[in-house]
Structure 1
Amino acid sequence: MSELSFKDKVVIVTGAGGGIGREYALAFAKRGAKVVVNDLGGSHTGEGKSSKAADKVVDEIKAAGGIAAANYDSVEFGDKIVETALNNFGRIDIVINNAGILRDVSFAKMTDKDWDLVYTVHCKGAYKLTRAAWNHMRDNKFGRIIMTSSAAGLYGNFGQANYGSMKMALVGLSNTLAQEGKGRNIHCNTISPIAASRLTESVMPPEILDQLKPEYIVPLVLYLCHEDTTETGSVFEVGAGWVSKVRLQRSAGAYMKDITAEKVKENWPTIENFEVNPAYPTSAADSVSGIINAANSGKSSGPVLHRKPSTTAAAPAAPAAPAASVAVDGYKSSAIFQDIQKQTQNNGAELVKKINGIYQIDVTNAGKTQSWIIDLKNGSGSVSTGANGKPNVTITVSDEDFVQIMSGKLNPQTAFMKGKLKIKGNMGLATKLGGIMPKSKI
């Protein structure tokens, strides 16, 4: 595979005086880019300034035969950073919004300064720099932009209300710019990196930091910024050599005619159920259309609830033949399989479509083994006792441990590591079993 080249591309990297920013700058320069190394030279809490950090990285790049220029402005003066790129290299192609600070404190003790400084660097800084570069990219019909988010933004984190808020704001900015820039070949993506840096060294032990080298973040960013890459409007978690794409998920929901708080309470299990007909909206239009369609049709993509009964009498349906009992005396697990049987009777067709597999559960008790088969591959699904002979996955577990796992009281990974839970066959299919039971952790 040929190396991804950035020959003659002009790249701005903020916060490039150390950590991940330095690695970005060195990597782009090594692959032929002309790099603006921006760093205010302040502390990780946003105080002070110095030109030493940026100058040192520029010297490293030049010593290796690369091309670079230093900039010492705060990112809130993004126009000055872009001016450095234009004065030295005549254009701007790529912006890496990497600069960041931390002012961690619980919300009860947070000051306006704690909030404002983090906002200025992360949110306003990314806006000001990207805005200053935007029209140049539009004119050139090329641009690649990286926003840097965080797990604190995607999921929240105690003591980081300021940091998490700004990091999530950048996801919204990136998603919008991806839509506005697509017609001009401007792509914008967001990364949520985890790496050893001065921002993480105070909160992680040394043995973990050793596995989180900043250079492990660089390859994803290089790929996303290359001229041949079409990816845009996406969010990625990255660290320690691992890359994963993150997306929003929406439950099928519940439509309620003449909605009331009491109806919301009654339908809450359906509202929060992500197992049946989930959706993955990728735009504001997707979000709105889902709501409008439900309102217009009087139903959600999940079960239709609280609709007025039809005035036309329908012929009564023939009663379904009762399923054979899956209860076995002496096994507490019987109750679980009975519940799974009810789930299958209610949503079997959907479960078959989603899971497409056959499970054999061998439950041991007092030296004996009882088998149950959960067939979510054929017809509308079924649950039965006895061995099948052709399961896709076989799970062996004691009666007591199975009850503990399926009720959420025993972590399945812990049970597996301790040999209490044995799995043979399709491991990926085994992890889907939890979707059958609302409280399951398998």
Structure 2
Amino acid sequence: MRTHPRWPVRAAAAVLLFAAAACSQEEPPPPAAGRAPAATTTCAGKGALTMWERSGGNKQMVDMLVAAWNTKNPDCKINLTYIPHTEMVGKIAQGVASGDVPDLMGMDLIYAPQFEKEGQLVDITDQTKDWPELKTASKGHMTVATYENRLFGVPLYADVSALFYNKDLFTKAGLDPDKPPTSLAELRTYADKITALGGGVKGYYLPGNCAGCNIFTVGPLMWASGATIEAAGPGDEPLVGDGVKQVLQFTRDMVKAGNVPEGGRAENGETFHLQFGSGKVGMMGTGNFNITLARQQNPKMNFGIALLPGTAPNSSASFIGGDLVVVPKGSKRVNDAVNVMKFLLSDEVQTEVYAKALNLTTRTDMVDNKYFQAEPLVQDVAKALTVGRTPYTVTFFEQINSPQGPWLQMLQRAYYRDDDLDTVIADAKREMKAIAGRS
């Protein structure tokens, strides 16, 4: 298979999985009738499986899931390797084209439609059609895992964006730690007061060089303000609504007011997940994965979670993201890869791995569990599921997640330059529309 010219072989700012380790033995062929064997939560064959995963995602969760599989399947362990997230899209496209692919991989759910359209993933519809677990699997994940009514993956982990806020800094700044901001105006007011504390403390965090981080955390501010961001397909109009300019003005004002750490300007996603736990940031949009990370990083810090607000009081939105487990074309262990999917969706793993680690379960019927009942922060962040969105477009990378794309260029011009915002938006709109038209 040749590489489609739309696929970049350069760096990509996003989310995916990479692992390069050799398999010692291929799995047995399917039965003579041509049907794949019924999926189990164990291996069909012996020999290590290889898996690719992106850096910058929920590494802790993926490591725990792989460890759980390896404990149960010592003769069929997963060898997992991480690749810098800025290299993953090109790496996978090249691997599929050359045949040098892992047995299974994690993929940022937002890229799935592109790979599905190009025929670069294995269709798992027939192997999974009778799985009851799929009925309650994350709808955002299942939507982008489906192309032309065929299924190509299942959820690996779920991330929702929300507003994390440092209650200790709220108290020091004279703010009520139990009343997070419910509008962008309140967020600005609170940030001013927190920044005024000095000592390197800043009221808010913006990742200045990470397209994916911004669609995850700044995109919802626009959605909550009534805007549409991406062009879904040819002829669609991107960047529609007053909320686009309102949010760009808000972020520009936050930077100019000194409410954003100067180091955030270079943030490309590699250290994004570590910013809140530093204890020096009053508020930031981040994901549910940061609950555990922040506690490990800063055990004494007291913090809360609220919804990401828009311009109007009590408006809110969230980006439902995360990764899918998929099988690249050329995998020699398709049946075992499907078994890994079954394992991840099992009741035991949903409860004793996902929930126990205070990560969102990927099945909605598993949210009511003993671990979440004892953790109010998980309950708070789960509210984002009710206002969340998962964009569906085959040009998401080119429009949004490319480091050289119009989304990040627009944001950087708004954050760090004095360009007229109407011009900035018009330039990005024209380029995004052209990209969608070429699809």
Same fold (TM over 0.5): no
TM-score bin (small chain): under 0.3
What is the TM-score with the length of structure 1 in the denominator? 0.21
What is the TM-score with the length of structure 2 in the denominator? 0.21
State which structure, 1 or 2, has the greater radius of gyration over its C-alpha atoms: 1
